[in-house]
């Protein structure tokens, strides 16, 4: 899709929703795949930026049609509009992102409730029939960079001490056997930037952005909450084990977390916009992993 300005988005939306002519339109996010427009702080419209993103948006809406009624957690009730251009709409789930500093301010009871809520979300999501999700378009999640690529692209950007830690993570990752819990349909994007968190109430209102959902190793599902806090991941894992009877390997989750951050650094090593933040992300996990 050609680049659009704010006025273009308004016109495209009001052509189908004329009742929104007098509404307040603002840019919500300009992501890798789609531009999201917030209307009156109650509706979200997503405009894919290219044909691949269009296909992903249509697939996401189809998957959410099965996911949403199966979960206790709120997720978007997404509708596709044919346009042209194709775009989606859904009611906004009220809440804000949850980052590390926010989590550290939460009392223990709110942390535990969040961990329990996310454990139930994952347990219910993983209970969906994989074949049914495949039939709706769910495929394998995107692969990470190879260990050789990580060594080539990421390690030269790290300090001597951090590179030594990273090399151990790479070796540990290479030594991992296949996931003992197998492959499942999952979210695989459960970080705080996809959360609608009510900070006043200390409660998670919902999750969104299922574009990266798909079929992947079950343990990988639990690495993304480490962007918020390893404490939260520990609570999620414990709750999930209680609900499902599955035993999870916490060290495996830690190794996957470390390699994922190195893979992201390798992928964006040549991008000055992001490389600094990715180095910081590796360093933050190294400190947390050593402390744990």
CATH of the domain at 116: 3.90.1200.10
What is the domain extent for residue 119? 100-291
Burial class (CB in 10 A: 0-12, 13-18, 19+), 198: middle
Contact 248, 256 (CB under 8 A): no
The answer to whether the CB of 270 falls within 8 A of the CB of 257 is no
User: Does the residue 105 lie in any domain?
Assistant: yes
Residues 57 and 182 in one domain: no
Q: State which of 66, 91, 116 marks the end of a domain.
A: 91
- In this prediction, residue 31 has a pLDDT band, given cuts at 50, 70 and 90, of low
Domain end marker among 27, 57, 91: 91
Q: Is the pLDDT of residue 2 over 60?
A: no
User: Are residues 79 and 15 part of one domain?
Assistant: yes
pLDDT tier at 292, thresholds 50, 70, 90: confident
Residue 46 backbone phi and psi in degrees, to 5: -115, 130
> Has residue 123 been placed in a domain?
yes
The answer to whether residue 217 sits within a structural domain is yes
Token pair recorded at residue 217: 């190793």
Q: Which tens digit of pLDDT belongs to each residue from 80-121?
A: 999 788 999 999 999 999 999 999 999 999 999 999 999 999
Confidence of residue 273 (pLDDT cuts 50, 70, 90): very high
User: Which range has highest mean pLDDT (33-37, 55-59, 230-234)?
Assistant: 230-234
**DSSP letter assigned to residue 178:** S
- Cα–Cα distance measured from residue 43 to residue 258, given in angstroms and rounded to the nearest whole number: 36
The rounded distance, in Å, linking the Cα atoms of 284 and 279 is 9
Specify the number of domains making up the chain.
2
User: What pLDDT digit, counting tens, does each position of 145-196 carry?
Assistant: 999 999 999 999 999 999 999 999 999 999 999 999 999 999 999 999 999 9
Between CA 82 and CA 16 the distance in angstroms is: 10
Task: Answer yes or no: do 153 and 283 share one domain.
Answer: yes
CATH number (domain holding residue 50): 3.30.200.20
Tell me how far CA of residue 127 lies from CA of 36, 122, 183, 258, in angstroms. Answer: 30, 8, 12, 27
Same domain for 252 and 133? Answer: yes
**84 and 107 in a common domain:** no
């Amino acid at each position: 899709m050609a680049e659009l300005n704010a006025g273009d988005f308004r016109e495209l939306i009001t052509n189908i929703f004329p009742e929104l002519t007098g509404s307040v339109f603002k840019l919500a996010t300009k992501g890798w795949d789609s531009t999201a427009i917030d209307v009156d702080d109650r509706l979200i419209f997503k405009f894919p930026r290219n044909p691949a993103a269009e296909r992903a948006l249509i697939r996401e809406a189809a998957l959410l049609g099965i996911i949403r009624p199966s979960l206790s957690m709120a997720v978007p009730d997404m509708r596709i509009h044919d346009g042209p251009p194709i775009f989606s709409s859904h009611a906004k789930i009220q809440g804000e992102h949850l980052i590390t500093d926010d989590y550290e301010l939460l009392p223990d009871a709110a942390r535990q409730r969040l961990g329990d809520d996310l454990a139930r979300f994952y347990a219910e999501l993983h209970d969906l029939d994989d074949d049914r999700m495949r039939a709706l378009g769910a495929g394998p999640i995107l692969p990470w960079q190879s260990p050789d690529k990580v060594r080539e692209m990421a390690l030269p950007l790290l300090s001597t001490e951090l590179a030594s830690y990273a090399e151990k993570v790479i070796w540990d990752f290479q030594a991992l056997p296949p996931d003992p819990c197998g492959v499942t349909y999952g979210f695989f994007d459960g970080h705080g930037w996809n959360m609608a968190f009510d900070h006043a109430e200390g409660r998670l209102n919902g999750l969104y952005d299922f574009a990266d959902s798909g079929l992947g190793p079950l343990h990988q599902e639990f690495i993304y909450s480490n962007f918020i806090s390893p404490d939260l991941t520990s609570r999620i894992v414990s709750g999930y084990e209680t609900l499902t009877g599955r035993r999870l390997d916490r060290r495996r989750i830690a190794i996957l977390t470390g390699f994922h951050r190195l893979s992201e650094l390798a992928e964006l090593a040549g991008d000055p916009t992001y490389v600094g933040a990715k180095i910081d992300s590796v360093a933050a996990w190294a400190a947390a992993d050593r402390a744990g």
